Structures are given as structure tokens and as C-alpha cells.
Amino acid sequence: MRFNLEQREKSRQIESRDKRVVHFIFNTGLPTKVSPFARKYAKFLDGSLAEFEAAEKEKFAAYAQRLASEELDDGE
Amino acid sequence: MPFFHCDVTGGLNRLAFSTADDPFYKTSESKYYPEAVVFNSKGEVLARVNPDTRNSADYHMAYLDDVRDNVLKINDDRKIQISFNQIKEAGCMILLTVKQFDPKDGRQIGTEGEFHRAGLRRAKAETNQTLDYCMLKKVELPEDYQELIADEEDDAKPAFRNSLTYIAGALFLDDSGASPNWIFESYKNVFQAKDFKDPGNDVVSAIGALYARATSEYAEQQKVLADASNALKKSQEEKK
């Protein structure tokens, strides 16, 4: 009997009147992280993926160049 | 895009990704089903679980029908259980989609308005706690969407069923940190079959290709940045 109660403990949690387990807090006030895939996917949806990829490539190459030649501003 | 991104933590080991044709009633027919597709970092499909392929032993996924349970208050019709903590392949992605059953005789499924409350849900499998939910009618359809498209050249041909594929979200095994951890992103978009009519071209392969490009570009960028910062450190040390 005790074994059964223990086994059902997890399913009983969701029926509890005074206990809830919260796994996520969605509004943390911090900027949302975005995966590299999600950035591309958003552009794929609005049909501007090719332009976005070309612009990103150019921006990244310029950034890497400035990093190598020590031209980056503080915090950049 | 009603987007969110979160780390999957807090003892979450098993997810249920489910669909309900109507959460309150059993519908006369089944219309929606969940599908999970596992990609590697090259965008290749490693496994696909749906009503035709119900299990993936390698990727610990199982498709289940008729999962309503009054006691646990499960109001879903079909679900895929994913024991993602047992998947160790770094860089893999599990894409969660909802698709429509396609009746062989070309008729419309169910009656008008029967599926207005249809929805998708992602929940903790052990306790049925909802982590993400969406009614399918709230996902914006393409402006030019039509369910059946008549053949313009030949009227005698049966109309093309322009079925929908909902992209609910994706789980990623991120190995860029100290220890690999799972990330979930929620997208909730829809694609129509008429945009992927060419042979060999479907939503899943398009997304796989996109994922491969995103992964390889990101890895390449990280390598370039690491090389540049190493070179920078070296030159600064030499100056000293």
C-alpha cells in the first residue's frame, strides 16, 4: 500500500490544492537567448534569408578583421 | 513569432509532445498527429517518429495513440514520448511538428468547426505538467492558403490536398558549454504543402538544410574568433 502511494506521488502533485512545482520562469527580464538556427529560421519565414546571410557574413568578416588588428572599441 | 528559448533543467528527463483534436470531446475522426524528427548537426535525418514509424529505439522515442486519462487530466489524443536525457549525440536537434492525416478518398475530415479547439502541447511526461501549449487555430495561416487546390489544366484530376505542417519547436543538445545541456525553442509556425511540391523537397528537409548551415557557420565563426583572439594575445605578449 505504501509502495503504491509512493509510486503515485508524482501524479498526485498536480492534483494538490496547495502545492505546485514551477520549472520555468519565462519573464526573467533578461534578453532572450536565440540559437543560431532560430535566427536563420526567422529570416527563412519572412523570405529574407539570402540577404540576411550575406549581410551577416560581411559583418562578421569585418568584425574578425577589426579584432585581429586591435581596432575594436571597449565592450565591443 | 511567439518565440521563447529556455534551458531544459529541473529534473526534466522525459517529455510528452501531444496533440488534441478537441480537448473536451472525442471527435468523430482523427485529424492531427505529432511527429518528431531527429537531425544530426549535418542536417541529416537520424530518426522520425509518427503514426507510421511508432518507435525509435536509438533515440528513445515512442508514439502513442488514444492517451486520454480522466484521473491525470490528460485531454490529448496522440503523443510522442521523448526520453531526451538518454540521447547523447552532441549537436543533434529534435524537431517537433504537427501534421494532418490525409484521407485516401480525398474527402474533408470531420464536420465544419469540429476541430476549432485542436491544440498542441508539450508536457513533463511523468506529471503531465504543461510546459508549452498552443491552439492550432491561433497559428497564422499563409494568406493564400486553400485546403484543396483544383488542377487548372485537368478538371477531372482530383484536387491537390494542401495539407499543413505546424512547426511547434525544437530541442537542441547544446555542447558549447562545460557540460552538454538541452535547450528548447518554441516557434509555432505553419507551412503549406503547395510550397514544397517539387520531388525531394519537403518542410523537414528544408529545415534540416537550414539547421546544417546554421551549425556549420556558427562553428566556423567560433573557430575564426578563437584564432583571431589567440593571435591577438600572442602579439600583445610579444609587445610586452
DSSP assigned state of A73? P
Each residue's pLDDT tens digit, A31-60? 778 888 999 999 999 889 999 999 999 998
Spatial strand order of the sheet with B61-65 comes to B55-56, B61-65, B78-82, B15-20, B119-124, B130-135
Q: Which of B4, B71, B228 comes nearest A26 by C-beta?
A: B4
Predicted confidence at residue B49, as pLDDT, reads 95
Domain count, chain B: 1
Please, which pLDDT band fits residue A22 given cuts at 50, 70 and 90? low
Q: What's the whole-number average pLDDT of chain A?
A: 77
Q: Three-state SS for B167? A: strand
- Read off the pLDDT of each residue in B218-230 and give the average, rounded to a whole number: 87
Domain containing B177 — which CATH number? 2.60.60.30
Q: Which amino acid is it at B238?
A: E
Residue numbers of the domain that contains B120: 4-239
Predicted confidence at residue B198, as pLDDT, reads 78
Chain centre to alpha carbon of residue B211: 13
Predicted confidence at residue B67, as pLDDT, reads 85
- Read off the pLDDT of each residue in B195-212 and give the average, rounded to a whole number: 87
CA atoms of B69 and B182, how far apart (whole Å): 29
Judge if pTM exceeds 0.80.
yes
CA atoms of B98 and A43, how far apart (whole Å): 21
Q: What's the whole-number average pLDDT of chain B?
A: 87
Predicted confidence at residue B15, as pLDDT, reads 92
**Percent of chain B with pLDDT strictly greater than 70:** 99
Whether B38 has a pLDDT exceeding 90, the answer reads yes
Q: Is A70 left (phi over 0), alpha (psi -120 to 50) or beta?
A: left
Chain B residues with a Cβ under 8 Å from any Cβ in chain A: 1, 3-6, 9-10, 12, 71-73, 93, 124, 126-129, 131, 170, 172, 174, 183, 185, 187, 189, 206-207, 210-211, 213-215, 217-218, 221, 224-225, 228-229, 231-232, 235
CA-to-CA separations, B114 to A37, B23, B118, B240, in angstroms, rounded: 35, 11, 9, 75
Predicted confidence at residue B1, as pLDDT, reads 46
CA atoms of B130 and B134, how far apart (whole Å): 11
DSSP assigned state of B84? G
Whether A15 has a pLDDT exceeding 70, the answer reads no
All three cell numbers of B95, joined, read 524537431
Please give, rounded to a whole number of angstroms, the shortest distance from the CA of B51 to a CA of chain A: 27
Whether A1 has a pLDDT exceeding 60, the answer reads no
DSSP assigned state of B193? G
More confident residue, A24 or B117: B117
Whether B43 has a pLDDT exceeding 70, the answer reads yes
Please, which pLDDT band fits residue B5 given cuts at 50, 70 and 90? confident
CA atoms of B80 and B55, how far apart (whole Å): 9
CA atoms of B211 and B171, how far apart (whole Å): 12
Predicted confidence at residue B2, as pLDDT, reads 61
- Read off the pLDDT of each residue in B177-204 and give the average, rounded to a whole number: 86
